[in-house]
Structure 1
């Protein structure tokens, strides 16, 4: 039976939401998902769909979401839908909504060094199913994120920054829902890095498994 995924796509155009939505759809459809996309934060019209999907991918940098729509999203994850995403599309959305940030496990604060930074990503948990097939260390050329992060996250990848180690990818639970987040992914071309692509694909699959 095919799994159902829902991508909520829009927000700041600087993060190429349309292009990333196509990337995510391709990843999921290759894994036999049925993928739907909505380009609105008015989730009341999608309440039934939210309650049935296996995976939700927020792809909406910044933006404002109403209390009612946020409640529907939170409840869907609490009841078992997975939540997975990358960079600002998930980690810098709805800045005024602290419960959303708590669910995600972090929030963007700054990008040290600007947009084109060459840095190493180091896997911290080699036994996790998300890191299978991913090199222990790999290099990206992208925008680095400094984030406020939940100390209760299970960090699976990190990088070195001026002030110490910063989580890059983590997992957690929110109610019955499984959460996966990766901070790398400023432009769609970032996903041409094989290890990053594998990490994200594995993260999507892991989060969708109820």
Structure 2
């Protein structure tokens, strides 16, 4: 039996618990026939031999920096068919200074709106708001999200800047609250896919904390995204 090869790359801001978060998904990958390699930095992206032999990259690296050689290696691998996926800041808020990385992913974290200022206490929970993840018409038919109904979360709600080359499977809407500067509700993609060369990209924006990653619809989307993004023989 030929095993698929998954590369898990983790690091960056410790607030997203990159080690514990990625450890949640290692059994799923192994149970689905992947040989898993775990790296604690993005240096591996510059190893063209290793990347060419990788069928799926699962990244959990919030903020941080990446070299031009490393991001070039990642982009080249995806163009050649390597799948690329991740969740929350580990993929949508990585390497803010790299325009090539942003171009690959197709969307970038801008903010997560918070509670009314008088209710804030200087903790992460200041930015936990109740919100709905709404599955789009496309999402109801897509293998990553088919059969999943709209669901509610109480956690960070990502506001994402994006281009129109992404296929949006789920959205979330930010209301215009009296203390906020915007004047009408704003809808952001919450789950999207992207075709890039022969590769597939899947981004899931929920996932700030372990309890969110273990929420059944969120975990299902992430796990299905891994399977869907994985290199295919046809490259389509």
> Which of 209, 225, 232 is matched with 1:203 structurally?
225
Structure 2 stretches of 5 or more lacking a match? Answer: 115-125, 176-184
Post-superposition Cα deviations, 1:17-74, rounded to whole Å, max 9, x if no partner, equal 1111201212312322111111122236733111111101121101111111111111
> Which of 118, 134, 156 is matched with 1:122 structurally?
134
CA contact (8 A) 1:85 1:181 kept: yes
Post-superposition Cα deviations, 1:65-103, rounded to whole Å, max 9, x if no partner, equal 111111111111111000011100001111011111111
**Secondary structure of the residue that 1:168 maps to in structure 2?**
strand
Counterpart check, 1:182 vs 2:183: no
**Secondary structure of the residue that 1:64 maps to in structure 2?**
coil
Between stretches 24-33 and 139-148, larger displacement belongs to: 24-33
Distance 2:201 2:95 in 1: 17
Structure 1 stretches of 5 or more lacking a match? Answer: none
Counterpart check, 1:149 vs 2:150: no
Counterpart check, 1:28 vs 2:29: yes
| Equivalent residue number for residue 100 of structure 1 | 101
Taking only aligned residues, the RMSD between alpha carbons, in angstroms, comes to 1.4
CA contact (8 A) 2:46 2:72 kept: no
What displacement does 1:142 show? 1.4
CA contact (8 A) 1:133 1:198 kept: no
Runs of 4+ in 1 over 3 A off after TM superposition: none
Post-superposition Cα deviations, 1:101-142, rounded to whole Å, max 9, x if no partner, equal 1111111110012432221111112111111342x2111121
Q: How many residues are aligned here? A: 209
What displacement does 1:206 show? 0.4
Give TM-score, length-normalised by structure 1.
0.94
Counterpart check, 1:168 vs 2:190: yes
Give TM-score, length-normalised by structure 2.
0.84
